[in-house]
Structure 1
Amino acid sequence: MSQPRLRAAIYARYSTQLQRDTSIEDQIRLCRSMIEARGWSVEGIYSDHAVSGQTQHRPEFQRLQQDASGGAFDVIVTEFLDRLARDLEHTASFYKQMNFLDVPIFTVSEGEIDLLHVGFKGTMNSLFIKDLADKTRRGLKGRALKGKSAGGKSYGYSIRNQVGADGELIRGEREINPEEAKIVRRIFQDYAKGLSPKKIADALNTEGVPAPSGRHWGASTIHGNRQRGSGILNNELYNGRQIWNRLRYVKVPQTGKRISRLNPESEWTITEVPELRIIDPELWEAVRSRQGALKTAGTNVPVWDRRRPKTLFSGLMACGCCGGGFAKISKDSFGCSPARNKGAAVCSNKRTIKQTDLEARVLDALANHLMDPDAVQIFCEEYTAERNRLKAAAAGNRKEKEQALARARRDHQKLVDAIIAGIPADQVKDRMIELDTRRQQLERELAHTPAPAPVVFHPSMAEAYRERVSRLIRSLGSAEGMEEAKEALRALVERIVLTPAAEGTGLDLTLEGDLAGLLRLAAAAEGANTKKAPDSLSEAFDMSEEIVLVAGAGFEPATFRL
């Protein structure tokens, strides 16, 4: 009996922008050849362009896993195992997941992948990345020791392309950019005279001077972080001194996000490059002296200008004029950050609001205006009807698959009985293979399509919500429950937009509630009051995106003007 015709998914990937899309085409072509040779069919093609294999956060890789869970194909084919992952943990996790789904992995070079491949090749792939990183760093350090650029381009300099005697391009050469160097000197001179970074940024933006980012100048662009060497005022290169390896970069395992960490000073590579000096030593020392005076000023530095804990709604406020953030400008007031750090050329909203006033208005809205009972009742009815309609459709689809599976089993058994009765097996072989393949496919699909249960929400959760929010607000005055209450209340707020009032000198507030957070809290509170089983509630609110999608923009209490 011949093997069933398997449905194959192809996965291809290349790592950096330096590679070409043709790399993807070559990988797919090789995978197709292997699939055709085995008599399989190509069910889908998944490819990630210029994405590292060290992260799992790749759009097509994630889609591949989702489709595998849904039974969209029977086997995965890729050129090499390192196309799927370069990290040993990620390789093992993906293999384990596919093994659970009965979806084998094949590569053009190794054939079917088993645990031995995962352990050996996965380790080799991880070591390759580490060795590559070490060799790259060794090469960059060599450039740094010669005074050449070891990555990135500082404001005030241009890359100078040269060709060596051997015809090869000489990399890492820099030269001073006269126009940008003039701006650097101006910033140092203004700062040494006593101007603040905010005032300097304001003036540059007013004059339309392009910032290093190509957008607007900000105070942080100028003052940066002295310890990390960031910001115009802290760039040692302007003083004819290059520092390499001050920072190292690592990825957060859970998110794949790249963050920087400060290296010990003993690991820095420091090279004198006097030909790249832009700031004379006297001016450099004058600026450092002023920075040092501010650093040791002690009580002369306002307490709100030091590192401080977040307030109740920090990071959730936005300016209604420019869209920038609102932040502390004094110990008890908030103001638009772009308006103060980048000047009127960026934003003219100079109005402020007291922290006590803002928090009182937002908390009042959370307790008394959001989750209006009439709107909640309409939402509950519409949401329940829509969810149950979708569940009914899913149930109907499951029933059709169950019936189709029963037919496939009956027809297959009939053919077995026919063979037993004396009909030659070769006359019914192809039909039996077809039915067996169909049976396996339906069984996989049904295994990942659990029988739906009806969803029921009750309008009384609006009252339960308000009672719960009131308890949270009261908990803000308790040392024991304050932090938990803060986090719970912040989760209900999507954004607070502050716009200059049409009359007077104050600010109008528009509170945008986080719809999923509001409904989740309301359902949890209503469930606690009615003694409902937690599982029935968590099932309904596990997927925030689904709630927002079904509720849509029609659930108006999610936005309220204060």
Structure 2
Amino acid sequence: MTLRAVIYARYSSDLQSASSIEDQIRLCRERAARAGWQIVGSYEDAATSGASLMRPGIQRLQQDARERRFDVVISEALDRLSRNQADIAALYQNLTFAGVAIETLAEGHIDEMHIGLKGTMNALFLKDLAAKTRRGLRGRVEAGKSGGGNAFGYTVLRHMGEDGEIRRGDREINEDEAAIVRRIFHAYAEGMSPNRIADQLNREGIPGPRAGKWDKSTIHGNPKRGTGVLNNEIYIGRLVWNRQSFVKDPSTGKRQARPNPESEWIVTEVPELRIIDQELWDRVKTRREGRKIEQIDKEAWERRKPRFLLTGLVKCGCCGGGFSTVGKDRFGCSNSRNKGKSICSNRTGITRQELEGRILSILSERLMDPELVKVFAAEYIAERNRLAASHVDDRAVKQKELAKIIRDQDVLVNALLAGTPPERIKAKMEQLETRQKLLERELATAPAPAALTQIHPRMADTYHDRIRAMIVGLTEPDQESEAREAIRGLIEKIVATPVPTKGKRMALDLTLHGDLAGILALSLNADQLSGQQKTSLLQEVEESAGFLVAGAGFANCFSMSKAIIPPCPAKAA
């Protein structure tokens, strides 16, 4: 049987030619043709670093591998797939589990030895590259050039040098943007808040850095890190570099900034880039120093206040932004407060007590209607039976194919014994052996048909008993933390939408989007199980949460993997 192959190609940056991907694909196609493999697709990542697996092409490849859409991945070299030692090991394990082999033009068939040695070499390459890049950037900064990125108010220049080489990193003042910078400094020095400044600039349609909207944090920034318009010393002709370094969080693949000690800062005077005169800069700094005590008090209160039960779960129904603290015990739309009414007009707030009370009421009284649960139980069992039957059918198909492959191998062996030249049947025999090993692995690792979880209408009663116990636990010091986390696990998001009331005041309608998997797990007492029973149940619940269950009135309660609860009647906030 002909193996199905896909190609993965990547080039690292905009400085490399896009034709690199075309060249990689062409060479990989030639390799597949020599092996007699059928190309069924290709995956590409253009101008993307190989230091992380957070790339759309490699993510699609892994998803399709899990769905068994191909048998072999072909790439130019192992470092095209990833240069990160941990990532390439994880990728190899995932593809192997899915029964997919890796073949590269540089290393051939990839096995554990390649993963260990090449992974280490690629990791060392990245570390050496980072050190050389940083050394080069430091030299540019000490020469007064850009060390990467650009500040609002300047244009980066590219021009031909006397030696014919392209010169990069020089900057000049962008007068249009510089006028906006001066306006921000003057407005702040005269007493206007960063919030009002951002709102006014957005109302006038003035584009911010990277052509985005202005935000108050873009203006006030972080004085310790030198971020924000009001803290950037380049506006007074001082280029400060190496204030912070970045490390990658291995669990998320995202970079995190860490401040460097002041002794490691690189400071270069660039008087030709000064936009703000010293007198205005000092006025702004004086006002900021006067506000430090107020800021310290606010930060102390933030540290003292208990964690909000619904932190990060409330979204604005107008703009989709998050809700944050707008008072000591009141919450409102972050975009409206930080970017102004021109971005979001939702100025309706809500107290913590009312928000928590309404959401807990929805969870305890309006979720898991017994009549809807009956419909779900019937649909759930029908769907699990259908999936179990499909697993059995798939296993039977693979067993039948494996038996045919073994018969075909016997035919080739008999032909060889009858005097057929070995070179005529070698390629076919290799294909059959490869496919045989793949099928045997898939059959060996295929999960056994799972027993049906006992879903029945009475689970609604279990849910209501458990959720009421959790709500009571919120008032118990020794149970509060555990109860809070359990309740948060039932919620995907809460959408807060302003609506007018009879008294023409605005109130918030709250729509709760529940996490169906979490709700089912709670209803089935999954947390009270242990060992393999709990693991199996949670796995089955996760799969079941993806069903689109149809039934009389049931779709009004559950949609895909989310439980959507109608909003409570509005109250004046």
TM-score by length of 2: 0.86
1:555 alignment partner AA: C
Instruction: Give deviations 1:24-54, integer Å, cap 9, x for gaps.
Output: 1211222233343445544543333222211
1:252 alignment partner AA: D
Instruction: Give deviations 1:92-133, integer Å, cap 9, x for gaps.
Output: 444556667776544323334455544443333222222222
Q: Write the mapping of 1:167-246 to structure 2, written as runs, cut at 5 A.
A: 167-246=164-243
Q: Write the mapping of 1:32-431 to structure 2, written as runs, cut at 5 A.
A: 32-42=29-39, 44-65=41-62, 73=70, 75-95=72-92, 105-113=102-110, 116-297=113-294, 301=298, 310-409=307-406
The 2-side partners of 1:48 and 1:114 are apart by 24
Instruction: Give deviations 1:205-244, integer Å, cap 9, x for gaps.
Output: 2332222242332211111111111111111111211111
Measure how far apart 1:376 and its partner are: 1.9
1:560 alignment partner AA: P
The 1-side partners of 2:315 and 2:81 are apart by 41
Which sections of structure 1, spanning at least 5 residues, go unmatched?
none
1:240 alignment partner AA: G
1:477 alignment partner AA: T
1:490 alignment partner AA: R
1:476 to 1:219, Cα distance in 2 relative to 1, 3 A:
same
Helix, strand or coil at the partner of 1:173: strand
1:468 alignment partner AA: R
Helix, strand or coil at the partner of 2:169: coil
Instruction: Give deviations 1:331-352, integer Å, cap 9, x for gaps.
Output: 1111222222222222332222
CA RMSD of superposed structures (Å)? 3.3
Helix, strand or coil at the partner of 1:56: coil
Helix, strand or coil at the partner of 1:158: strand
Measure how far apart 1:393 and its partner are: 2.0
Query: Of the candidates 495, 498, 502, which is equivalent to residue 497 of structure 1?
Result: 495
Deviates more, 1:54-63 or 1:494-503: 54-63
The 1-side partners of 2:174 and 2:389 are apart by 68
Measure how far apart 1:550 and its partner are: 2.7
Measure how far apart 1:361 and its partner are: 0.8
Helix, strand or coil at the partner of 1:161: strand
Helix, strand or coil at the partner of 1:172: strand
1:435 to 1:126, Cα distance in 2 relative to 1, 3 A:
closer
Measure how far apart 1:355 and its partner are: 0.9
The 1-side partners of 2:437 and 2:294 are apart by 74
CA contact (8 A) 1:352 1:506 kept: no
Measure how far apart 1:154 and its partner are: 0.8
1:352 to 1:128, Cα distance in 2 relative to 1, 3 A:
same
Helix, strand or coil at the partner of 1:507: strand
2:496 alignment partner AA: L
Deviates more, 1:470-479 or 1:337-346: 337-346
2:207 alignment partner AA: P
1:514 corresponding residue in structure 2: 514
The 2-side partners of 1:250 and 1:423 are apart by 65
Deviates more, 1:298-307 or 1:312-321: 298-307
Measure how far apart 1:437 and its partner are: 5.7
The 1-side partners of 2:402 and 2:358 are apart by 60
Measure how far apart 1:356 and its partner are: 0.7
CA contact (8 A) 1:465 1:521 kept: no
2:513 alignment partner AA: G
The 2-side partners of 1:123 and 1:411 are apart by 42
2:153 alignment partner AA: G
The 2-side partners of 1:67 and 1:500 are apart by 42
1:489 alignment partner AA: I
2:557 corresponding residue in structure 1: 555
The 1-side partners of 2:372 and 2:4 are apart by 48
2:478 corresponding residue in structure 1: 480
Helix, strand or coil at the partner of 2:16: coil
1:205 to 1:48, Cα distance in 2 relative to 1, 3 A:
closer
Measure how far apart 1:558 and its partner are: 2.1
CA contact (8 A) 1:71 1:444 kept: no
1:217 to 1:394, Cα distance in 2 relative to 1, 3 A:
same
The 1-side partners of 2:252 and 2:176 are apart by 40
The 1-side partners of 2:361 and 2:545 are apart by 25
CA contact (8 A) 1:294 1:301 kept: no
The 2-side partners of 1:305 and 1:193 are apart by 28
The 1-side partners of 2:117 and 2:399 are apart by 42
CA contact (8 A) 1:9 1:43 kept: yes
Deviates more, 1:56-65 or 1:130-139: 56-65
Question: Number of paired residues?
Answer: 554
CA contact (8 A) 1:496 1:509 kept: no
Helix, strand or coil at the partner of 1:171: strand
TM-score by length of 1: 0.88
CA contact (8 A) 1:8 1:76 kept: yes
Helix, strand or coil at the partner of 1:478: coil
1:555 to 1:299, Cα distance in 2 relative to 1, 3 A:
closer
CA contact (8 A) 1:304 1:328 kept: no
CA contact (8 A) 2:526 2:534 kept: no
The 1-side partners of 2:518 and 2:65 are apart by 34
The 2-side partners of 1:478 and 1:267 are apart by 49
1:335 to 1:106, Cα distance in 2 relative to 1, 3 A:
closer
2:461 corresponding residue in structure 1: 463
Which sections of structure 2, spanning at least 5 residues, go unmatched?
569-573
